[in-house]
Amino acid sequence: MQLRSHHGPSASQLLVAGLALANSGFAIPVEDSPRQYLLAGLDLPKKYSEKSKSPYTPGFRDPYDRAVDAVGDKLDPLPYRNGLGTSVLGPWNRERSRQSPDLVRPPSTDHGNLQNMRWSFADSHIRIEEGGWTRQTTVRELGTSVELAAVNMRLDKGVIRELHWHKEAEWAFVLDGQVRVTAIDYEGGNFIDDLKRGDLWYFPSGVPHSLQGLGENGTEFLLIFDDGNFSEESTFILSDWLAHTPKSVIAKNFNLAPEVFAHLPEKEKYIFQGSQPGSIDDEKPTGKNVKKSKQNFVHRMLDQEPHLTSGGEVRITDSKNFPISKTVAAAHVKIQSGAIREMHWHPNADEWNFFLAGRARVTIFASEGTARTFDYVPGDVGIVPRNMGHFVENIGDEPIEMLEVFRADEFRDFSLFQWMGETPKKMVVDHLFQDDPENGEIFWNKVKNAEKDEVTLPDSDNEAESEQREL
């Protein structure tokens, strides 16, 4: 009996045969990428070795560590940088590497050990309920999220997040749809309002409230809690409390017969389908001792007039224009393609970022020669610890929309550009250009007016001139 060999063709033989068949007109799937050529031991085709085509090749050089949009350009990041590095032979998650190209090939300026500052809500466990779902990012998911925790929640039309309260204060941004909020304040005054995309609410610690999806598609929102150790499972919920209280006590509390409470829920309802509410006027309580709250628990953030910059726009909401929000301040920022959220730092709180749109890279400077670069896509959470210098660079072809959130009563930041302009010229030049007075003069003439431009769009001529010098 003749045995057949179990040894098949090599990877290089398969790739060569596949490419040959593809070039001959046969429609077969072939993975044509730099990594596959290198795995097969083949020379890279010209399209991958040319500088203008892919930065992830042995011969590519970039002394300025420019950003690469691996997602937009559909590139396969590999650990090559300015003549260093080599290919990857083991398992490889292409989509993950595309989303984090600066982890695969960090800028040459990165150095030292810095904790992870990125998490994607796509990696958070989803709790699925009747007509809704919820997922969270806390210090358990992202170890550096020590000051704030977040919950992403979806409620369909008429679906209720049941009456509850928390130890922590709750700040929220409506991501889409419409939602009705109800609450009572510390003096027992009731509050009801309907919110849309870009609106906020803030409930101080212990304030009981409820949320309900409105409109045809309900709502989705981002909840922020002023403690990174928060857990959505630790909420004080009405039905859960009554399910664990003797019915004789409940009857005494409400001065009714125990039989009235015979069919109370046996456990928490949490998220459930409710009846369709009418207008606020139709639904508001009208009892003899009912009173309206003097507090305003909501704010229309995106209705604010934006502060326009050369490369985008900024809206800031803190206790100055949303007085009840004593423990959470926030900025809504748009960064145009090619622009950056200028180099800066925050002295009073960690920065907790949520990316709504666009693709970004962020380098965090942590002192002691330590810096690390992270990349972010929609649905990602980023952390920048207080006082650590950083920027946010738009590396894609669409605007970045992001939230900067802080456990603080006021938004505060220091601008590197402004600092330079507010410092004596000789001091600045001696620090940065002591051996290069000609460029020191160019730098000083740029910063001397101390203009703070939170989102900066660089002159395209500067980039073109830099690239021409390299050629």
CA–CA dist 429, 433 (Å, integer): 5
Backbone angles phi, psi at 41, to 5 degrees: 75, 25
* 3-state percent breakdown (helix, strand, coil) of the chain, nearest 5: 20, 30, 50
Alpha carbon distances (Å) from 296 to 112, 167, 201, 279, 367? 47, 20, 9, 19, 41
Q: Which of these is catalytic: 232, 342, 393, 404?
A: 404
DSSP state string for 178-216: EEEEEEE-TTS-EEEEEE-TTEEEEE-TT--EEEEEEEE
Assigned token pair, 118:
């990125």
Beta bridge partners of 425: none
The residues, any chain, with a CB within 8 Å of residue 225's CB and separated by 6 or more, are 148, 149, 150, 151, 166, 168, 169, 170, 171
Beta bridge partners of 209: 164, 183
404 is catalytic: yes
Nearest to 104 by CA among 62, 50, 68: 68
- Give the count of alpha carbons within 13 A of 135, CB side only: 12
Q: 460: how many CB neighbours lie within 10 A of its CB?
A: 9
Q: CB of 360 within 8 A of CB of 336?
A: no
Q: CB of 404 within 8 A of CB of 436?
A: no
Instruction: Provide the CA 240 distance to its chain's centre, in angstroms.
Output: 32
CA–CA dist 343, 366 (Å, integer): 13
Q: CB of 390 within 8 A of CB of 118?
A: no
Q: CB of 386 within 8 A of CB of 358?
A: no
CA–CA dist 290, 412 (Å, integer): 40
- Checking phi first, is residue 426 left (phi over 0); if not, alpha (psi -120 to 50) or beta? alpha
Place of tokens 């990012």: 137
CA–CA dist 323, 202 (Å, integer): 10
Assigned token pair, 99:
């989303």
Residues 383-393 as b/e (b if ≥16 CB within 10 A, e otherwise) read bbbbebbbbbb
Catalogue the active-site residues: 404
